[in-house]
Amino acid sequence: MAKPEAKTAGSKGADSDAKPAKKRGKLVPIVAVVILLGGGGGGAWWWMHRDAAAAPAAPVAKAPVFMNLEPFTVNLLEEGGEHYLQTSLVFQVADEKVVETMKQYLPVIRNRILLLLSSKKPSDIASPDGKAKLVTEVTTAVRDSIPGATPERGIVQAYIGAFVIQ
């Protein structure tokens, strides 16, 4: 009987020593995973926020400034009958100062545009290419109407707001 007791006592002693080793064995990988996840999360946060802190703020784009002109109605050059053009034009300009300058020179601007439009045949301006060429010519005419040192004179681009040929 002494032998079974020794085994029982030995078994209990071996079991009590094995349990703490198993706990330590499971605890080390769990702690390592928690540290890795925490480090990875912190590193990801730093990576995503480092560019925002290090980079200077991008300049805010200025809102475009537009000036609408009253609609134009002109007789076109005869081509198989009488035709007229009714159109409205919108100009993108550099700033409000250019709008004020355009208002000062509005009689000159309207005169040049009227002369340009009335010199066209319906076939010249009916196609998309013809309209694009007309926009370029109108932009140039308006730039030439405003005094200034720069070729653009604050006029960025002309746009067609409405376009009817009859």
Instruction: Provide the whole-model pTM.
Output: 0.64
The secondary structure element, H or E, covering residue 15 is: helix 2-54
Give the whole-angstrom CA distance, residue 71 versus residue 30. Answer: 76
The predicted pLDDT at position 23 comes to 64
Q: Are 103 and 65 in contact (CB under 8 A)?
A: no
The secondary structure element, H or E, covering residue 66 is: strand 65-68
Q: Are 93 and 154 in contact (CB under 8 A)?
A: yes
The predicted pLDDT at position 1 comes to 53
Q: Given this structure, which CATH class describes domain 65-165? A: alpha beta
Which pairs from 144-147 meet CB under 8 Å and 24+ separation? 144/112, 145/105, 145/108, 145/109, 145/112, 146/101, 146/102, 146/105, 146/109
User: Tens digits of per-residue pLDDT, 99-117?
Assistant: 999 999 999 999 999 999 9
**Residue ranges in the chain whose pLDDT is less than 50:** none
* Domains in the chain: boundaries: 1-61, 65-165
DSSP 116-146: HHHT--HHHHSSHHHHHHHHHHHHHHHHHHS
The predicted pLDDT at position 55 comes to 60
3-state secondary structure at position 159: strand
